[in-house]
Amino acid sequence: MPQAIVIGAGFAGLSAASFLARAGWQVTLLEKNAGPGGRARVFEAERFTFDMGPSWYWMPGVFEDYFKQFGKKVSDYYELVRLDPSYQVIFGDKDTLGIPAGMPQLRQLFEELEPGSAARLDEFLAQAAYKYEVGINKFVHLPSRSVLEFVDWEIVKGAVRLDLLQSMAKHARKFFSHPKLLKLIEFPVLFLGATPENTPALYSLMNYADLALGTWYPKGGMHQIVRGMVAVAEELGVKIEYNQEVQEIVVTQGRTTGVRTATGFWPADAVVAGADYQHIEQQVLAPEYRHYSPAYWDSRTMAPSSLLFYLGVNRPLDNLLHHNLFFDEDFSQHAHEIYEAPQWPSRPLFYASVPSKTDSTVAPAGQENLFLLIPVAPDLDDPEATREKYYNLLMDRLEKHCGHPIREHVVYKRSYAHRDFVADYHSFKGNAYGLANTLKQTAILKPTLKSKKVNNLYFTGQLTVPGPGVPPSLISGQVVAGEVLKEIK
């Protein structure tokens, strides 16, 4: 029976391990931290349960498909709730839009803001639906190791409709002109990748995921997905070892024979690295086996990092929903300070999640679980004084919006930013999401999922194909497992 070592128990690592085990491999998953999930870990404090990372459940079909491939259903592991409104956007004082889950109500909202835009929304989403179907069912399942993979009649036929060469900003403005509608259309790419001006219009597929497929929530929190994946993996025989940081990938005559951790050597016929790609390649691999140079990595456009606050509040929070986007400051200026002139934002946008509005299990009765996120440039210093400055800035705006004090009701507080991403995940430049979704970092232009110098070493996760986000990471694990199974018998 062939043996695989998978490094990292995040979404991609758990996915890869499970597909390899299903094919009859003996799989050991080595995780640096004390529990599974990677950036989607969970912690408890003062009777609050905090998801540490992802909080948006989009593309429910990807999760259904994942579990279905192992003879399971999402409902075997967690209960899904569709949020309605999906979220709200705060544009200013007493200027708030709730984004309805129902399409008739959404069309009405667009029409009220910009007459004639309901029909244009239909056309925009029809195009986005095509991109979603081709992108999610075809593009993201390609290993992107050769341009020949894309010589497929359906893909070639649809290349123009996929808008790979047009920017998201130009595409959105073909349909809408109202500034609120443009912010609504452009926010997914700002939070997960790059400026709308530098993101291919292909990524309007994210708007289809958002506005048509809806925003969902797994009762108990996003970590329930991880728990379900762990259950699947262990049922298939995957052995998960925690507190096992890989310190060396052992290579002999162009092949890896296994890895070393502080506790010893772990043999393997193939190694799949689901940990941070740059860290594994530049620091764990010996120099002679590295395919990319430090200059290559420094030239990559990274997706944002995040400044996060996990807060327990001992009173209800008024005027907030489960998901809240505070776009009450300059959208373009914040994007400029992430991507073009990297610095701490002068007037940040931010996101507030209050899962206790939906789920009574994540906070004590009558209290709130509050998660705050500011997207920020990677590779910044984040001293405590800076974190505290932004905490108070956000609290000023939150208290104004809610109409009551919050700071004096905070009974638990934890911050998390660049140096924590580095310490916990060896995150390159402290990034939170991986590589930005620019045209020059799409498909075959991403770091390759297979080492070019070690012929049984593979990579998976947000720094390789298909890219950042939870559904792409699930798919990344499946794609890399498929390549291992094709090439190693």
357-396: pLDDT as tens digits: 999 999 999 999 999 999 999 999 999 999 999 999 999 9
Residues found in the chain: 489
- What pLDDT is attached to residue 189? 81
- What pLDDT is attached to residue 190? 74
- What pLDDT is attached to residue 377? 95
| DSSP single-letter state for residue 285 | S
Q: How confident is the model at residue 437 (pLDDT cuts 50, 70, 90)?
A: confident
User: Span 82-92, mean pLDDT?
Assistant: 98
Amino acid residing at 109: L
- What pLDDT is attached to residue 141? 84
- What pLDDT is attached to residue 151? 60
In angstroms, rounded to a whole number, what is the distance separating the alpha carbons of residues 186 and 135? Answer: 18
Give the pLDDT confidence of 158-202 residue by residue, as tens digits: 556 777 778 899 999 999 999 999 999 999 887 666 788 888 888
In angstroms, rounded to a whole number, what is the distance separating the alpha carbons of residues 193 and 176? Answer: 22
- What pLDDT is attached to residue 331? 85
Say if CB 239 and CB 28 are below 8 A apart: yes
Which has more confidence, 457 or 335? 457
DSSP 233-271: HHHTTPEEESS----EEEEETTEEEEEEETTEEEE-SEE
- What pLDDT is attached to residue 154? 57
Taking Cα atoms as reference points, which of 439, 469, 477, 435 lies closest to residue 202? 439
Share the mean pLDDT of the chain: 94
Q: What's the N-to-C CA distance of the chain in angstroms?
A: 10
Say if CB 41 and CB 9 are below 8 A apart: no
User: Span 244-251, mean pLDDT?
Assistant: 98
- What pLDDT is attached to residue 159? 58
- What pLDDT is attached to residue 174? 96
Amino acid residing at 424: D
| DSSP single-letter state for residue 282 | I
Amino acid residing at 427: S
Q: How confident is the model at residue 79 (pLDDT cuts 50, 70, 90)?
A: very high
Say if CB 476 and CB 465 are below 8 A apart: yes
Amino acid residing at 236: L
User: Span 231-256, mean pLDDT?
Assistant: 98
Q: How far is CA 104 from the centre of its chain?
A: 29
Say if CB 475 and CB 141 are below 8 A apart: yes
Q: In this prediction, what percent of the chain has a pLDDT beyond 90?
A: 86
Say if CB 459 and CB 449 are below 8 A apart: yes
What structural domains does the chain harbor? 3-79+220-300+436-487 (3.50.50.60), 107-213 (1.10.405), 302-425 (3.30.519)
- What pLDDT is attached to residue 153? 46
Say if CB 178 and CB 192 are below 8 A apart: no
User: Span 453-481, mean pLDDT?
Assistant: 96
Q: How confident is the model at residue 155 (pLDDT cuts 50, 70, 90)?
A: low
Site of tokens 């700002």:
190
Q: Where are the beta strands (DSSP E) in 134-253?
A: 216-218, 239-241, 248-252
Beta bridge partners of 376: 305
Calculate the alpha carbon distances from 231 to 15, 41, 224, 471 in Å: 12, 15, 10, 18
Q: What is the pTM of this model?
A: 0.96
- What pLDDT is attached to residue 150? 62
In angstroms, rounded to a whole number, what is the distance separating the alpha carbons of residues 479 and 449? Answer: 9
Give the pLDDT confidence of 23-50 residue by residue, as tens digits: 999 999 999 999 999 999 999 999 999 9
Question: Is the pLDDT assigned to residue 7 strictly greater than 70?
Answer: yes
Give the pLDDT confidence of 89-139 residue by residue, as tens digits: 999 999 999 999 999 999 999 999 999 999 999 999 999 999 899 888 877
Q: What share of the chain is helix, strand, coil (3-state, %, to 5)?
A: 45, 20, 35
